[in-house]
Amino acid sequence: MHKKKYLFNSSLKDLNTFGIDVTAKKIIVVKTIKSLIKIVQYCKLSHIPYLILGEGSNVLFLENYIGIVIVNRIKGIKIIEQNKFWILHVFSGEKWHSLVKYSLNLNIFGLENLALIPGRIGSAAIQNIGAYGKEFKDVCLYVDVLSLKDNDIKRINANLCQFSYRNSIFKHQFHDYIILAVGIKLSKKWNPTIFPLLKNYVNFKEITAHKIFNIICKIRMNKLPDPKKFGNAGSFFKNPIITKKQAFKLTSLYDVPYYPQKNGLIKISGGWLIQHYQFKNIQIGDAAIHETQKLILINKKNATSKEVITLAKIIHMCILKKFNIFLEPEIDFIGSIGKIDPLDIFY
């Protein structure tokens, strides 16, 4: 492999959107499945920790990583036309937003509600990304993975991926599998996914996929912090999902926004809980709560992971004490040798 792909003891600051300045023993960019297999085999045989990283938009590095960070840039998009559907086979190193733009330019509609979500295709499947009434699971047909046990490529149908709110089988299980590609199924008969904010921007009779795309890009750019200005990983916490009994008790005491789910549970606004706790100008070092989007923690300049975690712990414990609601982190915490359970950090 070409030497330019190897970076020794290099900073990961530009490889995580939080902008945390930690290092890895080695950073390797991979562009083919063959090179990915070769590097992972080397790591396993040499007992060296390794981490697959896409955009670094959903991680918080807690300390220097002692292993190899493999940056996934395996790219490619194949389009299969059927009578009623388009099938997009997309490799995991492609940028999600680039895929959304690419499909729209080909007049293939259905991904417009997921515009401007950061990250690569692989993390879209792991996180089951979602926004404005649409989730990845709504369009996913299959996920292709590399089994590290036998270097075999396996296809997992979407109904076996256990997709749920910001979750999938890939987040907690399948540790010996790496996502290589996904299959996305989009109907040729386009039906817009309408969300309440749309009525403020456009007449429904004139709605098009391109208009929804432009509206969502405008909304996201106006309300979300630019990682180039303030490091962040999007929502630090998930919106809590609670039982009807818990929701009834909470809504009888507070005017908290809530959203009934198909499974009978209730999603409530985590941002509202933080907003109405009324933290007074709370800031730990350069780690702070975003002014308008309260689920987002930001790095104002040179925040350390310790400062971010200290702030997150304070928020978590205060919300638990006042509302009896458990705020679960949405991002992944990465220690010196790999992923760490949030419970081991918070408690």
Instruction: Tell me the catalytic residues.
Output: 166, 235, 330
Query: Per 3-state DSSP, what percentage of the chain is helix, strand, and coil (rounded to 5)?
Result: 35, 30, 40
CA distance 126 to 59: 13
C-beta neighbour count of 169 within 10 angstroms: 17
From residue 207, alpha-carbon distances to 84, 95, 203, 240 in Å are 21, 26, 6, 32
- Across the strands, what pairs with 177? 147
Of 136, 5, 162, 130, the closest CA to residue 74 belongs to: 5
Q: What residue type is assigned to position 286 of the chain?
A: D
226: DSSP letter: -
CA distance 113 to 163: 18
- Across the strands, what pairs with 23? 11
CA distance 103 to 34: 27
